[in-house]
Structure 1
Amino acid sequence: MPTLSGSLRAMSNTWVQEESGGSAAQLIALLDAVDDLPDARQLREDSYELLRLRPGSTVVDVGCGAGRAVAEMTDRGMRAIGLDLSEETIAEAGRRRPDGDFRCAEAYRLPFGDEEVDAYRAEKLYHELPDPARALSEARRVLVPGGRVVLIGQDWDTFVIDSDDAALTRTIVHARADLVPGARTARRYRSLLLDAGFRDVALEVRTGVFTGDAMLPVISGLAEGASAAGAIAPADARRWIAEQRARAEADRLFLAVPLFLASATRV
C-alpha cells in the first residue's frame, strides 16, 4: 500500500502543536517538508478534482495553514481564500503569496454572506473541532446551491501499530484518541454530510503505511499522551516507546492509518 503523507501531515500537525508548545515556525517547517512529497501533492490534486473547480470559482480553504493549497488553486485560476485561526501562519501565508487572500477566521463563523462560495475545502481540521455539525452547517450556509465540499482527515482511534504488547497498544491508541476533540469525526463524515443536507456524498478511504523512524516522535507522543492522561503507567509508556525505538532501529516499525476523503454537493 502506498504511503500517504496527508496522514503524516495531519498527525504531525496536532503532535507539534501539543508537544512543542504550539511553535508556529516548527509546525510550518514540518508541514512544508511533508507537502513537498509526491503523495501529498497527489492528495491535494485529488481534492481539487473532487471540488470540480472552474476558472473564476470562489473556493475557501478552511484551516489553510501557510497556504499551499490556496496558492495552488489560485494558480489554477480560482479565487481561492485561505482561513486559519493562527495569526502566525496567516502572516506566513501572506509573505509567501502576497497576492493571496488570507484571513483569520474560525470554522464556525465564516466571513461570507449566504450562498457566496462555490467550493469549501478542509484538511487536517475537523478532528480539532468539538462540534463538526456546526461547522458543516456554516459551510452549507456560505455555499451556493450545487457548491461542493471536500473534507480530508484521519480517525485517531483506528491507528494500527505493530507491537509485542497488543493489549497495551490498544489502550494507548484509545486513550490518546480520547484526548482529541474530534478523534472519531472522520468515520462520521458521511453521516455528518447527509445530516447537514448535502447530497451526492462520496467517501474514499486510503491507508497510510509508515515504516521509517521519522514516525517515532508521533508514536512516542501517543504513549506519552496516554500516560499523562493516567490511562497507562509511566513505566509502561517508557517500555512501549523503547520497543518502538528498537523496532525502528531494526527496520521493523509499522504504523498504518486510514485517511478519509469525503466529498458532497450542497442542495
Structure 2
Amino acid sequence: MSDIERRSRVESLLRQLDAVDAMPGSAELRELSYELLRLPAGAGVVDVGCGGGRAVAELAGRGARAIGVDLGEEMIEVARHRWPEADFRLGDACALPLEDGSVAGYRADKLFHQLADPLKALAEARRVLVPGGRVVLVGQDWDTLVIDSDDPALTRALVHARADLVPAPRVARRHRNLLLDAGFEEVHVEVRTGVFTDAAMLPVLTDLAGSVRAAGGIDAGQEEAWVAEQRRRAGAGRMFLAVPFFVAAATRP
C-alpha cells in the first residue's frame, strides 16, 4: 500500500470514528466505560487502540493520568496533533509500552475484533494493571448489525460476509469468557444499542458493501443496487442502522 493510499485509509477511518463519536448515545457509552474503570484520582489509565485520541483527552479531563496507545503511526500523529498535551505512544496491544503494574485502568473500545489473539492482549492487560485494577472492553458483534433494506436476504448476506472479513468478528460475545480465562474477577457485561439514522453514517454502509464486493461476496450490480437504496434512504431520512455494543468490565485480582 502506497503512502497516499495509507493516508487516505486513515482519513476515511477517522471520519467514520468521528461520525460515530458525534452520534446520539456515543458520549454516554464512553462515559459508562469511564465510570466502570472506577479510577482513583490521579490514577494511570491506558486506552489501547486510541485512534484519534478523544477518550484519552476525556479521561485526562476527569483527572486521570491517561495514556493512549495505537499500532498506527498515522493515528498517533493525528492524536498528538489534536491533543498536544496528552500522552500518546506507538505500540501493540499484545506488547504495550508500559511497565508491569503501572496503571489502574485499561480500556479498549472497538479494538478486540481486530486482534488475532484477544486472549494474549488480555494477558498483557493483566500485566500492566495493578492488583485491583480495572479492565473495560467495548465492542460490537459484527454478525449482529441490523440494517433496514428492501432486500433483506442480500442484507443478511452482506452482514455475514462482512463479518467474515474481520479477524475476530464475534469476539464481543466472548468478552466475559475471555476475561474469566485471563484470570479476571467480578466480570460484568451489559449491552447498549446504538441506533443510527443520520446520513453521516452512510459511508459505513457503502464501505460494508464495497468490502464484500471486493472480496468476491457479491457482484458489482448487487453492490450498486444496495448502495443506491441506502443512499435514497439516507436522502429521505429513512436510513436505519442498529449496532449492539457489548460493554464488559472486570477486576484484576
Q: Are 2:89 and 1:92 aligned?
A: no
Q: Are 2:108 and 1:132 aligned?
A: no
2:47/2:55 contact within 8 Å kept: yes
Q: Are 2:152 and 1:175 aligned?
A: no
Consecutive aligned runs of 4 or more in structure 1 exceeding 4 Å deviation = 19-22
80-89 vs 127-136, which moves further: 80-89
Question: CA 1:38–1:228 in 2, change beyond 3 Å: closer, same or farther?
Answer: closer
Q: Distance in 2 between matches of 1:239 and 1:113?
A: 52
Q: What is the number of residues matched between the two proteins?
A: 249
TM score, norm. by length of structure 1 = 0.85
* Partner amino acid, structure 2, of 1:177: A
Which residue is 1:156 aligned to?
Answer: 142
Which residue is 1:232 aligned to?
Answer: 218
RMSD over aligned CA atoms reads 2.1
Q: Which secondary structure state, in structure 1, belongs to the residue aligned with residue 25 of structure 2?
A: helix
How far off is 1:37 after superposition? 5.1
Which residue is 2:179 aligned to?
Answer: 193
How far off is 1:40 after superposition? 2.4
Q: Which secondary structure state, in structure 1, belongs to the residue aligned with residue 96 of structure 2?
A: coil
Q: Distance in 2 between matches of 1:234 and 1:75?
A: 47
90-99 vs 144-153, which moves further: 90-99
Q: Distance in 2 between matches of 1:102 and 1:216?
A: 30
Q: Are 2:46 and 1:57 aligned?
A: no
% same residue: 62
For 1:41-93, what per-residue CA distance to the aligned partner results, in whole angstroms no more than 9, with x for missing partners? 22222111100011121111111123222122222222111111122222333
Q: Distance in 1 between matches of 2:20 and 2:141?
A: 19
Which residue is 1:82 aligned to?
Answer: 68
Q: Are 2:105 and 1:123 aligned?
A: no
Question: CA 1:171–1:30 in 2, change beyond 3 Å: closer, same or farther?
Answer: closer
Q: Distance in 2 between matches of 1:26 and 1:90?
A: 15
Among 30, 33, 54, the alignment partner of 1:68 is: 54
How far off is 1:33 after superposition? 5.1
TM score, norm. by length of structure 2 = 0.90
* Partner amino acid, structure 2, of 1:262: A
How far off is 1:105 after superposition? 0.5
Which sections of structure 2, spanning at least 5 residues, go unmatched? none
Which residue is 1:41 aligned to?
Answer: 27
How far off is 1:189 after superposition? 0.7
How far off is 1:25 after superposition? 4.1
How far off is 1:26 after superposition? 4.6
Question: CA 1:25–1:226 in 2, change beyond 3 Å: closer, same or farther?
Answer: closer
Which residue is 2:99 aligned to?
Answer: 113
Question: CA 1:114–1:229 in 2, change beyond 3 Å: closer, same or farther?
Answer: same
Q: Which secondary structure state, in structure 1, belongs to the residue aligned with residue 160 of structure 2?
A: helix
Q: Distance in 1 between matches of 2:73 and 2:250?
A: 30
Q: Distance in 2 between matches of 1:37 and 1:178?
A: 26
